[in-house]
Structure 1
Amino acid sequence: MKFRVLGAVVAVAAGFSLTSSGGAVAVGNEALTADLDAILADNALKGADVGLVVRDANSGEVIYTRQSGRRSQVASNLKLLTTTTALDLLGPDHRWKTELVSSGTRSGAALNGDLVLRGGGDPTMSRLRYQQLADTLKASGVTTVNGALVVDDTKFDATPYGTGWAWDDEPYSYSAETSALTLSPDAKFSAGTVVVRVKPGAAAGAPAVVTTEPANDHVQVVSTATTGNAGISVQREHGTNRIFVSGSTSVETTALSTVKDPTGLVTSVFQKALQASGITVTGGVKRQKAPAGAAVLATDTSMTLGELVKPLLKDSNNMLAEVLVKTAGGSFTNGVNQLSTKWAGLGVDPNAVEVFDGSGMSRLDQFSPDDLTSVLVKAKTKPWFAAWQASLPVAGVDGTLVNRMKNTPAAGNVKAKTGSLSGVSGLSGYVTTQAGRELVFSVVQNNVLLFNSPRAIEDRIAVRLASEGGAVAPQVQSVPQQRKAPAQERTPVPAKERVDVECSWIGTC
């Protein structure tokens, strides 16, 4: 309440008045207030907890506010805080290193001693880049390691998931384990996963051919899939690396599956890389920290943090966000604590919020629309702002907004972060009005009924803001329900219509 009262005092002092609905409106802008009030009064939001704030992007002046100081779950909108504070703490030029090191000695083509694969937390590592590390070692003349292959993932602690994450999300690519030794099998950097590829057999009813990419001995595929048209299900068994594939398909299809213990996956992939390079390891595999002072034999260096932010925000990549947290402090708890030292510089009181991870997946995270817009306003003063803002999804153009607000004044204009969990939806970002005024806004909805299409509420708000100052304001329309009554029997929702997850997490955008 303290933050809320302060916000109200500032609004009045700056020439704003409070409406009976609790919204703050700039004098002479009653039409905008009336339209936003009407959107938030939609019957679709009955019983929901919704906060909205609109501010001038440069001065920070409050143009409209409704319950915007109340803390709630903000889902992936939290990535705005994670990325901006990481850029401040680590710097946009920060890179991650994956190294081969050893304290052994060379004797001709033999390395006498352990070979250590030391992870630095790079979530973008791929099978090809692990192969290049092995090839570099081979090019130096090593063909035999008279010792063990040691894998060192101690850069991060062993806690795989954030506090407050849902256990039943474990099989899905948006909820993979965070490890200092990991790999991504695809161009979107889905760290901690493998691609499961299913090809139809030679005839109807024949067994499907199932493979994983990269090839590894870490996961076990159990397939009953056949050739047909019923569709394919790929599900990893809880707590194991058994991936069950069922159903049928007549066309080649792929799906991502998380793995338990990404370090084990990397170990298997790197063993195959050494074999492909013609390097023999005589001493098996061990897991331990690399010895102090070990010589560096080969190094892979990642893209910069400034570059990594783009796929993180455009695709709402949870695993990239969690790597930023653990890079900052080695664990979820210490990482958040380290990042919190930069929150005040982004207008956020560390003692007035609850943050347990970097992605917003935790149901314990508590943040407000006021805090989110403070981050958006303060970010404009940072030297890295231009590149960071360009990493946000653009309405109707790319990222998680590619299919939203097309053919409206918001298309190509709104640059904002989406957020989606069951019962939670949010949109926070930048918009330029028809009159040329740059605004920031944040709308966060909790306790929403998914069949009432919470994203439509957000889109209507963003379009209305983008239209401000134009000749004709868009008509405010209510959100149609997707089912007539809560008692109606639930049926599976087509993937492209789901609003409980980010579209990028399930490949629909």
Structure 2
Amino acid sequence: MRIKQTFLRLAAALLLAHLAMAARAAELPAAFTDALRQAGIPLDHVAVVVQPLDAATALVSHNADAAMNPASVMKLVTSYAALHQLGPRFSWPTEVWADGPVRDGVLEGDLIVKGYGDPSLTLERVWLLQRELRAHGIRHIRGNLLLDTSHFELPPLDPGAFDGEPLALYNAAPGALVANFNATTLRLKPEGDSLQIVPEIALPGVTMRAEVVLTSAAGCNGWKETVTPAIPDPTRRELVLSGQYPRGCGEQALSLNLFEPAATFDFIFRGLWAESGGTLAGQTLPGMAPASPPLLRVESPPLTDALTSLNKYSNNLMTRNLFLTLGAARFGPPATLDKGHRAVRATLDAQGIATDKLVLENGAGLSRIERISARSLSQLLQAAYASPLFSEFESALPIVAIDGTLKRRFNGSPLVGNAHLKTGTLRDVSALAGYVYSARGRRIAFVMLVNHEHAKRALDAQQQLLEWVWHDLPAAVAPQP
């Protein structure tokens, strides 16, 4: 009898769970659920919240409290925290000291550079920094180049740990002193029967070898997939390119994450300095900035510019540096990952955004362990909309079929130009979150997270749901008074 009662209770519980799932699924449009079914993605691996911003309750809430991997949609969390904690005008400094007298254009001592995590120190901005040095009378440096990276305190990071692609730019490690997004750009040039590798910035001490077969294949699309870069021996600075390269491609650029940030900064600084006729006689060494005021201090563009770059183009390094900056700004330097975690969580808690399902690793979504619920993301989108900084937050997001990571998505759809959405893609993850402007002129917060081995097949389902939100959103959803 007890066994029978237990079985009946279990059957009843399963039936209730099934009915509850069916009730939730009934809220979803048929075209959307059909697309998921065709993609082989079960509904319990999908979370959706559709919230009209003029209504008191969500139109659709499915699996809203499930802890899901959002991939790069996590950048919304870091961006929101940064706007509220740092403010839109925040900028990162880079400071320079001359440790010695300057006579007749010669610095008789060391040049010291301290970084504070500026993620937008491009080649052009390094060149401008050097131009200011020359304006201070420095043309030649007889001492060493000392790099102070003490503003960040990070454990050893393996750039290949995430997916075995250590040379991919999206795996570039964060750093207090990062130049050009840690990218080393190589020009590939077919000459005769071989492929020549020419770095854009001189790389003294680095050997480059091409073991590439030149082919007569028509077209040039996909050439990067046929060329494989590798550093066979981590103890040696030797890059080997193997594979095939279509001769018809002509000259192409290949940007790689070859070195740790301080080494890349060194190559770029020395290369640009030499190009302008300067000399630097000494070595590049770790150093500490003096307590005296710097010779010069250059500021990055404002935070709003950084948010546009990191969201529209999903720049992981910029987001990771911003995440660390939040920790240092709130709890004092040096910046650590733990301080970044606590700073983001504190901001969300203060704004009433649920953090019970939040798991942070680097704030960029380049992670297998980061988690958040669709409900929390929807709350964040609603809080951002109610904020005086909403314009800055929304304008940083890709516009459907117009720019950023959505430039080639949903073309020919009525969504074109009518949604600002952050994308997120990893193996087994496909995510979208942001704002849709409906045909009825309403603004809708939209969150859709897919965690499943077939997540890459979710694109049609995403479009079906987005178009339903834009097109067929029931007018009966009551707006708030």
Q: TM-score, normalised by structure 2?
A: 0.83
Task: Give the direction of change, closer, same or farther, for the CA distance of 1:45–1:281 in structure 2 (3 Å limit).
Answer: closer
Q: Which residue in the other structure is 2:468 paired with?
A: 464
**Larger relative helix fraction:** 2
Specify the code of the residue in structure 1 equivalent to 2:269. Answer: F
Task: Give the direction of change, closer, same or farther, for the CA distance of 1:141–1:333 in structure 2 (3 Å limit).
Answer: same
Q: Which residue in the other structure is 2:360 paired with?
A: 355
Q: Which residue in the other structure is 2:323 paired with?
A: 325
* Conserved 8 A contact 1:218-1:264: no
What is the CA-CA distance between 1:264 and the residue it aligns to? 0.8
Specify the code of the residue in structure 2 equivalent to 1:421. Answer: L
Q: Which residue in the other structure is 1:74 paired with?
A: 70
Specify the code of the residue in structure 1 equivalent to 2:430. Answer: S
* Conserved 8 A contact 2:159-2:171: no
Task: Give the direction of change, closer, same or farther, for the CA distance of 1:290–1:421 in structure 2 (3 Å limit).
Answer: same
Matches within 5 A, 1:327-476: 327-329=325-327, 330-449=335-454, 453-469=457-473
Q: 2:322 and 2:270 mapped to 1: Cα distance?
A: 28
Q: Identical aligned pairs, as a percentage?
A: 25
Q: Which residue in the other structure is 1:212 paired with?
A: 199
Q: Which residue in the other structure is 2:185 paired with?
A: 195
Q: 2:23 and 2:436 mapped to 1: Cα distance?
A: 19
Q: Which residue in the other structure is 2:21 paired with?
A: 21
* Conserved 8 A contact 2:39-2:458: no
Q: Which residue in the other structure is 1:269 paired with?
A: 268
Q: 1:211 and 1:60 mapped to 2: Cα distance?
A: 59
Structure number with greater CO (CA < 8 Å, separation at least 6) is 2
SS in 1 for 2:416: coil
Matched, 1:114 2:113: no
Q: 1:469 and 1:364 mapped to 2: Cα distance?
A: 34
Q: Which residue in the other structure is 1:236 paired with?
A: 230
* Conserved 8 A contact 2:357-2:373: no
Q: 1:37 and 1:193 mapped to 2: Cα distance?
A: 42
Q: 1:220 and 1:300 mapped to 2: Cα distance?
A: 34
What is the CA-CA distance between 1:145 and the residue it aligns to? 3.5
* Conserved 8 A contact 1:322-1:357: yes
Specify the code of the residue in structure 2 equivalent to 1:390. Answer: S
Q: How many residues align?
A: 439
Q: 2:174 aligns with which of 165, 178, 182?
A: 178
Q: TM-score, normalised by structure 1?
A: 0.79
What is the CA-CA distance between 1:327 and the residue it aligns to? 1.3
RMSD: 2.8
Q: 1:302 aligns with which of 300, 303, 312?
A: 300
Q: 2:160 and 2:348 mapped to 1: Cα distance?
A: 22
Matched, 1:50 2:55: no
Q: Which residue in the other structure is 2:478 paired with?
A: none
* Conserved 8 A contact 2:29-2:465: no
SS in 2 for 1:343: helix
Task: Give the direction of change, closer, same or farther, for the CA distance of 1:170–1:57 in structure 2 (3 Å limit).
Answer: farther
What is the CA-CA distance between 1:57 and the residue it aligns to? 2.0
* Conserved 8 A contact 1:162-1:357: no
1:211-248 alpha-carbon deviations (Å, 9 max, x no partner):
12333336542212343336441423375653322223
Name structure 1 gaps, 5 residues minimum.
1-17, 185-190, 472-509
What is the CA-CA distance between 1:469 and the residue it aligns to? 4.8
What is the CA-CA distance between 1:393 and the residue it aligns to? 1.3
SS in 2 for 1:367: coil
SS in 2 for 1:366: coil
Specify the code of the residue in structure 1 equivalent to 2:174. Answer: T
What is the CA-CA distance between 1:437 and the residue it aligns to? 2.5
Q: Which residue in the other structure is 1:490 paired with?
A: none
SS in 1 for 2:308: helix
